A and B are shown apart, each in its own frame.
Chain A
Amino acid sequence: MIEVVRIEKAYRKFQAVRGISFEVRPGEVYGLLGPNGAGKTTTLRMLATLLRPTAGSARVAGFDVVRQSLEVRRNLGIVNGGMKVYDKLTGYEVLDFFGSFYDLWGPRLKERIGWVADLLHIEQTVLNKQVKDMSTGMQQKIVIARAILHQPQVLLLDEATAGLDVFARRALLDFVKQYAGLGKTLVYSTHVMSEAEEVCDRVGFIHQGLLVYEGRLQEALALGSGNLERAFIRRLEGAA
């Protein structure tokens, strides 16, 4: 569960996020949609406790992102397009490394790696390769595997398909639906509206740090005569 209340982020004179509020329930995929520079990444980084809000508040899995940052991180996974994992380590070592922070050791870790490998279609032999020797798609799968190894209640995906080929992108979108099916809370941030149409239950349009629209996917599609991109543009024109 995610609850965001009038959250803001300012960098000196620049206001990156201007009082955004939304909620995401368990089992739901919430699409945070907007062009590059709209404030999506900043919002997700605040939810992941990587950035400190300058105003407002947010709770992730019931924990406050400022006062209970470690608890938030224990219950959260984050993946963004630019995120990488250590290329000199093998896939297994990467998962072992990150697993250790969530008390995953020995047989429990092995079992969890087996689960994540099945979910993301990663062959066990690939896990013995160094990350630098893997394809881009497989590297991104390791990034995702790292983020969900501890089966977080909340998963934040920020432009997670950036740079992926068609197969890896397909696998990721399938995974998003599967993971939400496990009763997890997901935020899917992207500027590619077609992806959101496929995986999101509800969407929020963000522009220049403001949430200019929020609603169920079907409602948003109706606003754009069946097209999310058109809905986004119409909504912006309406707001102007």
Chain B
Amino acid sequence: MNEILMIARKELLSVVRERRVLFTTLILPILIMPLLMFGPILLFGSAARQTQESVQKVGVVGVPAAVLEQLRKARVEPVEIAKPQEAVQNREVEAALVFEKDKYTLYGRLSGGATQSALVVEKVQGALRAYKDQLVAERLRARGIGTEVLEPFRLETKDASREQERAAGLFAFLIPYFLVLFIQMGGMPVAVDATAGEKEKGTLEALLAAPVPLIQILLGKGLAVFVMSLLSTLAALTGLLLGGAVFRNLFAAQLRAVQDGENPAQLGGALALDPLGYLSMLLTGVLFALLIIAIMISLGLYARSFKEAQSYMSPLMLVMIIPILFLQFSDFLKLQDWYFTLPFINVVLALDALVKGSATALQLVITWLSTLLFAGMALYLAYRNFQREDVVFRN
């Protein structure tokens, strides 16, 4: 046991003295997480508000005077143009409205996500809706019919999600994603340094000549990777939770405007789990960390150099994206319990279910046991690799 701790301590000392690694694995996540979460939303919110408040040019062709008046009320400036589509494409106007034979055609730059043009299109649509409602009301009145005929019943939509899921907000998606990502990202530099790095630097042979069983060397290295994974994940979660709270205080007004404005955006959230829920999340994360660390060490031991190890481990990141993508569509699937035996996918599904408060005991137990089994297999593979002379002296 002592040897394991000494080896882990040595690996961690080497990392702590590498400022670049320390910064990218521990400091950067704390700084970057709130920016990642709230930055784009704030920027978009601010841009959207400015678009709402300022006046933009909209090209018009054959549009009646009454509609032009409605457009001006909606804070857009109608400009007569000849070629509406080209004018929008060349950004001479943000949108263009053409009226022809009882039909309005609205042009805007609608591809490529949130654009200013899309917001102006919404403004014009709003103006046209208001004008249409006005026309309908006038015509009904002319026939002696009240406008209530247009609304024979009322429709109210209520969110029936679990309390935890509602409270979690964006976290419901982000927590599994970031846990998986940071467990891997945090451990990778140490995993590479402790395996292929030792080979490349010529330090492994001295360690192997010491009277320490291979399994203890392996466990010592694994422990160091585990500690860094854990610290990196904690740093990311701290950034997410504390940084988020600081951000919310600093930009309270702006965030409220984004949340309550015409284009409300879902912001952050908070975990509302009972102690057992947190413990289950911790256990799931720890087991996943064991699995991913054993895989990384196995790959690192096989590699000849830093570069080779990184080229083996980087695709692992891409592999991890698959369960994350799967998670996005999991709501459309009827989740079967056996899904929780699938490596990686089970962890993401279990974390997602835990955050949303929908995890069953059976699903969690299946996830934990299968992940433990996969971790054991990966650890055995790493040990076998470590025993192989052609792998250890493959440099």
Taking beta carbons and an 8 Å cutoff, which residues of A are in contact with B? 11, 48-52, 70-71, 73-74, 76-78, 80, 82-89, 93, 97-98, 100-102, 130, 143, 146-147
Contacts and interface: CB of A to CB of B under 8 A. Distances in A.
Contact of B13 (A11, A50, A70, A88): A88
Contacts of A73: 209-211
Contacts of B210: 73, 98, 101
Interface in B206-263: 206, 208-213
A146 B3 contact: no
Given A73-B211, A76-B209, A101-B3, A88 B201 contact: no
B213 A70 contact: yes
Contacts of A74: 211
Contacts of B209: 48-50, 73, 76-78
Given A88-B18, A97-B10, A143-B206, 17 more contacts: A50-B209, A51-B389, A52-B389, A70-B213, A73-B209, A74-B211, A82-B202, A83-B203, A85-B203, A86-B203, A89-B13, A98-B210, A100-B6, A101-B3, A101-B6, A146-B206, A147-B206
Interface string B1-23: 01100100010011001100000
B2 A98 contact: no
Interface of B: 2-3, 6, 10, 13-14, 17-18, 201-203, 205-206, 208-213, 389-390, 392-393
A133 B389 CA distance: 32
Contacts of B211: 70-71, 73-74, 101-102
A93 B13 contact: yes
Contacts, number: 67
A80 B205 contact: yes
16 contacts: A50-B393, A73-B210, A74-B211, A76-B209, A77-B209, A78-B205, A83-B203, A84-B203, A84-B206, A88-B13, A88-B14, A100-B6, A101-B210, A102-B211, A130-B17, A143-B206
A101 B216 CA distance: 11
Contact of A87 (B10, B201, B213): B201
Give the interface centre of B3, B10, B209 by most chain A CB atoms within 10 Å: B209
B389 A89 contact: no
Contacts of B392: 50
| Most B-side CB within 10 Å, residue of A74, A76, A84, A102 | A84
B14 A89 contact: yes
Nearest to B206: A83
A114 B356 CA distance: 61
A55 to B, nearest CB: 15
A11 B10 CA distance: 33
Chain B contact residues, majority secondary structure = helix
B201 A84 contact: yes
Given A70-B211, A73-B211, A98 B14 contact: no
Contacts of A50: 205, 208-209, 389, 392-393
Contacts of B13: 88-89, 93
A97 B4 CA distance: 11
A129 to B, nearest CB: 13
Contacts of B212: 101
Nearest to A49: B209
B202 A83 contact: yes
A100 B14 contact: no
Contacts of B10: 86, 89, 93, 97
A140 to B, nearest CB: 12
**Max chain A Cβ within 10 angstroms of own Cβ: one of B17, B201, B208, B210:** B210
A51 to B, nearest CB: 6
Contacts of B202: 82-84
Closest 6 CB pairs of A and B: A73-B211, A84-B202, A88-B14, A88-B17, A74-B211, A101-B210
A74 B3 CA distance: 14
Contacts of A100: 2-3, 6
Residue among B203, B208, B212 with the highest chain A CB neighbour number at 10 A: B203
Contacts of A78: 205-206, 209
A89 B15 CA distance: 10
Nearest to A51: B389
A70 B214 CA distance: 10
A236 to B, nearest CB: 28
Contacts of B393: 50-51
Nearest to B389: A51
A163 B3 CA distance: 32
B1 to A, nearest CB: 12
Contacts of B3: 100-101
Between A71, A86, A93, A143, the greatest number of chain B beta carbons within 10 A of the residue's beta carbon is seen for A86
A39 to B, nearest CB: 14
Nearest to A82: B202
A85 to B, nearest CB: 6
A84 B200 CA distance: 10
A98 B210 CA distance: 7
Nearest to B18: A88
A75 B3 CA distance: 18
A70 B213 CA distance: 7
B14 A86 contact: yes
A102 B212 CA distance: 10
Nearest to B203: A84
Contacts of A49: 209
Nearest to B198: A86
B208 to A, nearest CB: 6
A48 B389 CA distance: 13
A83 B198 CA distance: 10
